[in-house]
Amino acid sequence: MKKLIIYSLMFIATSLSLFSNETIVLSTGEWAPYTSEKDPKGQVAQKIVSEALAFENIDVSYKFYKWADAYSIAKEVKSDATIPWFKNKKREDDFFFSKQAIIRTKMLFFHLKDKSFTWKNFNDLKKYKICGVKGYSTTKLLNDKGLNLVISPDAKNCFKKLLSDEVDVVPSSYLVGYNIINKTFSSQEATKFITHPKQVQRQTGAFFLVSKQNPKAQELVAKFDKGLKKLIKSGRYLKIIKDSIKK
């Protein structure tokens, strides 16, 4: 009788393990409204990734770091994957990218309304002091152009420097920039910011990345791509995007 009970319990445990979801850990950083550790209204990319992978029976846990650390941790396979990242040569050397972007965004320069700012090409930017966030692809692009950069640990600090005239412009995703401005400054201070219409980089996407050192990298990327297609087809993807714009 005891053996029968033991075998029954073993069978139940095995059955549950077969039907339970796999759990993976993703490294990321603060980039509301797309990723946020504490703000439920700032997790658009997280919702998309979590729900896409849920279609493939994968649960997701997020760990937050400074962006440079989030990158290196994922590269060294101390996390299973990382989100959301724009493409560049270095990253494509280190990671496999999802076929489709998680989200797409416009990268613009923010400046103060009462300060004259205009540009047509990168040479025009040499007379301005620009705040760039360490680890951002846009920061690397501007640095490679030989521009005058002030490096900051986060975007919030950049906007504070902009308001205090320590820098002239801040490159940021449109939604991210205004999200930071509205949460950081008073309503009167928030009206002082404006964007230049010319994009710093052409509209691009932020992707799901898995280190090439991860033995299951291509399998995990394929599952995400498959799940994202299902999420889009279900109509849920569009609803997540629309809901984020309303907030």
Q: What is the DSSP code string of 207-223?
A: EEEEETTSTTHHHHHHH
Would you say residue 180 has pLDDT above 90?
yes
pTM score: 0.72
Paired tokens of 198: 């010319």
pLDDT, tens digit, 9 for 90 and up, residues 212-233: 999 999 999 999 999 999 999 9
Would you say residue 7 has pLDDT above 90?
no
Its CATH architecture, for the domain 2-104+205-246, is 3-Layer(aba) Sandwich (3.40)
Confidence grade of residue 204 (pLDDT, cut at 50, 70, 90):
confident
The kind and range of the H/E element at 85 are: strand 81-85
Confidence grade of residue 2 (pLDDT, cut at 50, 70, 90):
low
Pairwise pLDDT comparison (109 vs 21), residue with the higher score? 109
Q: Where in the chain is the domain with CATH 3.40.190.10?
A: 2-104+205-246, 106-203
Beta bridge partners of 111: 194
Between CA 97 and CA 203 the distance in angstroms is: 17
Tokens 């052409």 -> residue = 202
Closest CA to 136 of 186, 78, 100, 176: 176
Between CA 111 and CA 21 the distance in angstroms is: 46
pLDDT in the model for residue 106: 87
% the chain with pLDDT above 70: 90
% the chain with pLDDT above 90: 78
- Residue 111 neighbours by CB under 8 Å, 6+ apart: 117, 162, 168, 169, 170, 193, 194, 195, 196
Pairwise pLDDT comparison (216 vs 1), residue with the higher score? 216
Confidence grade of residue 201 (pLDDT, cut at 50, 70, 90):
confident
Between CA 203 and CA 156 the distance in angstroms is: 22
Q: Which CATH number fits domain 106-203: 3.40.190.10, 3.30.360.10, 3.50.50.60, 3.30.70.360?
A: 3.40.190.10
pLDDT in the model for residue 175: 86
Between CA 133 and CA 67 the distance in angstroms is: 9
3-class state of residue 83 by DSSP: strand
Diameter of the chain by CA atoms? 86
